[in-house]
């Protein structure tokens, strides 16, 4: 199966044929990257000054925007430029929401909006701890933000003004990754989850699902032999293109590139067209027990992101 599934979409808020929508949802939920080579996000001439690593606070890897509070953080812009940055990121959030609504209408009632990010810093050569090193193959999981089985759906747009592609690598299917690492991960007790939350290491209770996903994420990145020997596919994602991917399912690494906008959404497994492909389903089949807490607490978890 090819890593990329190319979909002919030209506009963010467009009428999508049922045939294209069905093709896109099947590809997305079965672990492909839905590639939109003709869908670009316009950065105006005035906004291009924001495409600089110098506007990012050194304490942050990315600049982030919270659509629930309309606040942008992680930048060092003066007030007028900060307002311009805030408007840019809100506009990208609105475009991304319109795209998901038109391409995957079945998701609309169930989506929870996460943060928007602007990634202005070049990936290649960036130094970090192995857990934060996104140039190593991994599936997404958040140490401080439990998702309790909700999917992590992300939209990316390469807005590099110099026409430079963003380079990714992808690895094994999630089921293969899980079978490789799950035997080396001990189970988490309910008491452990409560203690982690009481110590304010997580925003909400960490579920067994989050425990296993976080350990898979960390073990993948830490295992140098795995990183060096696993079969990888290198893909170039051109400037002025966009792509959609479940980053909790697709093993991926960002190798090089600069100036990308990204929007995160969360989706419950029950809203999927093919729920059996969700990481939660794969892990529960391997372990033979439920890995999630109550649905109400799950919603609270992702809303606290």
pLDDT tens digits in sequence order for the chain, 305 residues long: 799 999 999 999 888 899 999 999 999 999 999 999 999 999 999 999 999 999 998 777 799 999 999 999 999 999 999 999 999 999 999 999 999 999 999 999 999 999 999 999 999 988 888 998 999 999 999 999 999 999 999 999 999 999 999 999 999 999 999 999 999 999 988 778 778 888 888 888 899 999 999 999 999 999 999 999 999 999 999 999 999 999 999 999 999 999 999 999 999 999 999 999 999 999 999 999 999 986 555 555 565 55
The model's pTM is: 0.95
- pLDDT score, position 297: 54
Domains in the chain: how many in total? 1
Maximum alpha-carbon separation in the chain = 55
Question: In 3-state terms, what secondary structure has residue 251?
Answer: coil
- With CA atoms as reference, report the closest residue to 206 among 267, 268, 144: 144
- pLDDT score, position 116: 98
Cα dihedral 283, 285, 286, 287 sign: positive
- pLDDT score, position 202: 85
CA 132 to chain centre: 14
* Phi, psi dihedrals of residue 213, rounded to the nearest 5°: -65, -40
* Other Cβ atoms within 10 Å of 111 Cβ, number: 18
Which pairs count as long-range contacts for 12-16, CB under 8 Å and 24+ apart, including other chains?
12/39, 12/41, 12/95, 12/96, 12/98, 12/99, 13/95, 13/98, 13/99, 13/101, 13/102, 14/102, 15/102, 16/102, 16/103
- pLDDT score, position 60: 78
Q: Which two tokens stand for residue 35?
A: 């590639």
- Spatial CB neighbours of 77, under 8 Å, sequence gap ≥ 6: 50, 55, 84, 85
| Nearest-angstrom CA–CA distance, 237 and 151 | 23
Q: Which two tokens stand for residue 112?
A: 């929870």
CATH code of residue 173: 2.60.120
Question: Residue 254: beta bridge partners?
Answer: 168
Residue 278 structural domain: 4-303
Q: In angstroms, what CA-CA distances link 138 with 9, 17, 252? A: 28, 33, 6
């Amino acid at each position: 199966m090819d890593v990329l599934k190319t979909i002919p979409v030209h506009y963010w808020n467009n009428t999508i044929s049922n045939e294209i929508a069905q093709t896109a949802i099947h590809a997305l939920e079965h672990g492909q990257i839905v590639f939109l080579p003709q869908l670009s996000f316009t950065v105006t001439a005035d906004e291009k000054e924001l495409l600089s690593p110098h506007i990012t606070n050194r304490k942050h890897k990315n600049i982030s925007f919270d659509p629930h509070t309309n606040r942008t953080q992680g930048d060092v812009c003066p007030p007028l430029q900060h307002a311009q940055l805030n408007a840019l990121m809100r506009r990208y959030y609105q475009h991304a929401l319109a795209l998901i609504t038109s391409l995957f209408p079945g998701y609309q009632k169930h989506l929870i909006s996460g943060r928007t990010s602007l990634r202005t810093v070049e990936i290649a050569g960036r130094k970090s701890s192995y857990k934060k090193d996104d140039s190593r193959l991994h599936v997404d999981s958040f140490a401080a933000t439990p998702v309790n089985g909700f999917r992590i759906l992300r939209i990316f747009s390469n807005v590099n003004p110099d026409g430079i592609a963003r380079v990714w690598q992808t690895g094994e299917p999630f089921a293969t990754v899980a079978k490789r690492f799950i035997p080396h991960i001990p189970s988490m007790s309910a008491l452990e989850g409560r203690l982690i939350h009481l110590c304010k290491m997580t925003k909400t209770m960490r579920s067994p699902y989050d425990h296993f996903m976080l350990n898979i994420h960390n073990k993948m990145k830490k295992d140098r032999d795995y990183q060096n020997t696993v079969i990888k596919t290198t893909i170039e994602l051109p400037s002025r293109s966009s792509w959609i991917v479940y980053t909790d399912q697709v093993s991926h690494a960002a190798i090089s590139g600069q100036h990308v906008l990204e929007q995160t959404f969360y989706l419950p497994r029950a809203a999927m067209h093919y729920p059996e492909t969700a990481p939660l389903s794969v892990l529960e089949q391997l372990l033979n027990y439920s890995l999630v807490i109550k649905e109400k607490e799950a919603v609270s978890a992702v809303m606290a992101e």
